[in-house]
Structure 1
Amino acid sequence: MSAAAAPHVVVVGSGLAGYGVLRELRKLAPDASLTLVTHDDGHFYSKPALSTALAKGKIADTLITTSGEKMAAQLKLDLRAGRMAEGLDREGKVLLTTGGPIFYDRLVLALGADPVRPPIDGDAAHLAIAVNSLDHYREFREKLPDGARVLVMGAGLVGTEFANDLVTTGYKPVVVDMLGHPLAQLVPAAIGDVVRDTLAGHGVEWHLGRKVMAIHKHEAGGLRAQLDDGTEILADVVLSAVGLRPNMDLARDAGLTVGRGIKVDQTGRTSDPNIFAIGDCAEYPQGLAAYVTPIMAAARAIAPSVLGTPTDIRFPTLSVQVKTTTYPIVLLPKPVGVDGQWRLTDDGGAGLKYLFVDNDGATRGYVLTQDRCQERMEMDKLLIESLRETAA
């Protein structure tokens, strides 16, 4: 596409998804007009690194890889930092922001996801911190005294990684989750039990099958949480890690089609042909895809689609490394809505190996632990070949 024909592209959101699309756009259209709108400073950093930053001795400022100003210079874009996207005039193709209207030819929504805020009673419920951004992490560290007792609400991926990070750096995490074992939606119970016992051996306190009902300020300082069975937990800080919800208010209010996220087709296009969505806010035909690998794959396809060459997103095998250094795990989650069972195929001294086998006998997911994590590439290759054979 020539520079004269290149559209003015506005991207909302400065996370990995937003910057991923902008990088790909700049490669394809060196002279295109690109504008980035973000409510924060536009600094680039790795969000997955937030749950391992303590062990690496990182504070918020040292997690920044590249400042917003440098990113703007490198990508030759107009950075509109500190601006909230308030609405869309789709007919006029105008993004309404707190800094005024911005006209676009194509718009890319990289809005991310917002932390789920469970209903909790008590005069200190609002003090629970959900760490989903650099600013959130800064607040968390500022409120974290040395050796603090930290109540972690949620034992999913983020909550378990934070528990590992906290306990290996001298803090005292207490984890509460309604389900029966850590990583319950990702791994079979037997592996969840090993994760629980391993972290307990390092000092993590678990309250599984339980729910936080209220958080109160404690008379002697700190916080007092009450569980549904009457148990009281004293803590210096409460970290909420109960999940994320795709940010789709802007899209919904503008009349775009939404479901679990902003619905897009295989090219990343929404129900409006001039608007695309990517990352944690997007619901692809395959469903939500909130990890780094699918974001980068989507960016490589959405950029040419935005510039007028529709390109299908081709997601690679979406395996995940769980950052629990006390008990390493690599997994490929079982597909949502697919029935089957986890089967233990190896329990040798090198680690555990489970395969998720669907009702048709096809392997659709896996979990590797400890030294068996090295088999990740081999397993990904086998599953790709298996899916191709099934499709044929």
Structure 2
Amino acid sequence: MAQTAPHVVVVGSGLAGYGVLRELRKLAPDARLTLVTHDDGHFYSKPALSTALAKGKVADTLVTTAAEKMAAQLKLDLRAGRLAEGIDREGKVLLTTGGPIFYDRLVLALGADPVRPPIDGDAAHRALAVNNLDDYREFREKLPDGARVLVMGAGLVGTEFANDLVTSGYRAVVVDMLGHPLAQLVPAPVGDVVRDTLAGHGVEWHLGRKVAAIHKAGDKGIRAVLDDGTEILADVVLSAVGLRPNTDLARNAGLEVDRGIKVDQTGRTSDPDIFAIGDCAQYPQGLAAYVTPIMAAARAIAPGVLGTPTDIRFPTLSVQVKTTTYPLVLLPKPGDVEGQWQLAEDDDAGLKYLFVDTNGATRGYVLTRDRCQERMEMDKLLIEALREPAA
């Protein structure tokens, strides 16, 4: 007798959640699929949020596929506007604000929440973090023409937003505790060029500093005070100091949690009937929050959910930084690998830096300007190098 396909419940309607649902529907045309999401369930590209201003996008025009169409295409039961409140693992029930939902397999695609640094002042609550479509809608609505925007954080998101703001007629002031933009991703000389290039387009930098307090200034403005006493007047504050994997639901259910929800190489959590994917998941290799690893994980987790455990095979995870004023492609160095950045090329085509580990192997790279075209070649070289057996 043929085995009945399981009822799969997915929590989260981002790229990870919908990615798994697409793969599941390909493999199991008749499976019962339910999507639970606290938002409206529309599909859109989250990376597009940090380039939307220059493209003239408002929140509604960032939606690529409406929730109703996604539900119809994937033949799923969409439970939008519902918050997942708990998991009864013994009874295999997801508890939501819309009532309990029984599952055979559960996939957690919970994403990550913006880090909220402790800041004093009567306007600290006005700091906005743009992590989803509703956040972007609020940010855009509060952005007057020619606004001066204080950006807290010069990592990937903060730097991309600064670029987007100044190329769209706004003014950006960036504050970061580290010494140069993208400090955790690129060597200092590259960060310095990014800083100087964006400064040439109007970005004001306060590096090696942090925001200590945010006070009201006038009816709608703010006055930020840095830790050295410097005061910055702005119309809007954008917080881009990082993301923290959303693990509360899993932790409260007794699943193993570290920085993220711990999963094995197949995406399975410490409960064999529960999987995790995307920004909330911590794979054996660590966190992997970019688009490429999410899609790779979805392709492996779907067959695992249906009963065929499949190892996730992550491709080379290079990243295109969306700084149009100074194009940049990079492969971040592995977090636990010792080594140093070495300059390989510096000419009119741009910069090329390689991260070389203590064994002399290249484990990461940064390409700028025209050298960004070497991305596929570099990825191929690194893949081949990692496949070579150790001497």
TM normalised by structure 2 equals: 0.99
The alignment partner of 1:356 has SS state of strand
Please tell me whether residue 212 in structure 1 is matched to residue 182 in structure 2: no
Hey, what's the Cα distance between the residues in 1 that align with 2:371 and 2:24?
38
* CA offset digits 1:85-143 (Å, max 9, x no partner): 00000000000000000000000000000000000000000010000000000000000
Q: Which residue of 1 aligns with 2:202?
A: 203
The alignment partner of 2:350 has SS state of coil
Hey, what's the Cα distance between the residues in 1 that align with 2:350 and 2:122?
45
Q: Which residue of 2 aligns with 1:64?
A: 63
Hey, what's the Cα distance between the residues in 2 that align with 1:64 and 1:300?
24
The alignment partner of 1:170 has SS state of coil
Query: Any residues of structure 2 matched to 1:16-165 within 5 Å, and which?
Result: 16-165=15-164
Q: Which residue of 2 aligns with 1:337?
A: 336
Q: Which residue of 1 aligns with 2:252?
A: 253
Q: How many Å apart are 1:391 and its aligned residue? A: 5.3
| 1:203 counterpart letter in structure 2 | G
Q: Which residue of 2 aligns with 1:369?
A: 368
Q: Which residue of 2 aligns with 1:298?
A: 297
Hey, what's the Cα distance between the residues in 1 that align with 2:218 and 2:299?
54
* CA offset digits 1:335-367 (Å, max 9, x no partner): 011110000000011000000000010000000
The alignment partner of 2:386 has SS state of helix
* CA offset digits 1:41-67 (Å, max 9, x no partner): 000000000000001110000000001
Q: How many Å apart are 1:219 and its aligned residue? A: 3.3
CA RMSD of aligned residues (A): 1.0
User: Percent identity, aligned pairs only?
Assistant: 88
Q: Which runs of 4+ in 1 moved over 2 A?
A: none
| 1:239 counterpart letter in structure 2 | L
Where structure 2 has 5 or more consecutive residues not aligned to the other structure, the ranges are: none
Hey, what's the Cα distance between the residues in 1 that align with 2:385 and 2:140?
45
Where structure 1 has 5 or more consecutive residues not aligned to the other structure, the ranges are: none
The alignment partner of 1:352 has SS state of strand
Hey, what's the Cα distance between the residues in 1 that align with 2:381 and 2:36?
41
* CA offset digits 1:179-207 (Å, max 9, x no partner): 00000000000000000000000000000
Hey, what's the Cα distance between the residues in 1 that align with 2:327 and 2:319?
11
Q: Which residue of 2 aligns with 1:10?
A: 9
Taking a change above 3 Å as real, the CA distance of residues 221 and 72 of structure 1, as seen in their structure-2 partners, is closer
Taking a change above 3 Å as real, the CA distance of residues 34 and 391 of structure 1, as seen in their structure-2 partners, is farther
Hey, what's the Cα distance between the residues in 2 that align with 1:391 and 1:114?
40
| 1:21 counterpart letter in structure 2 | V
Hey, what's the Cα distance between the residues in 2 that align with 1:391 and 1:251?
39
| 1:321 counterpart letter in structure 2 | Q
Q: Which residue of 1 aligns with 2:347?
A: 348
| 1:285 counterpart letter in structure 2 | P
* CA offset digits 1:301-334 (Å, max 9, x no partner): 0000000000000000000000000000000000
TM normalised by structure 1 equals: 0.99
| 1:250 counterpart letter in structure 2 | L
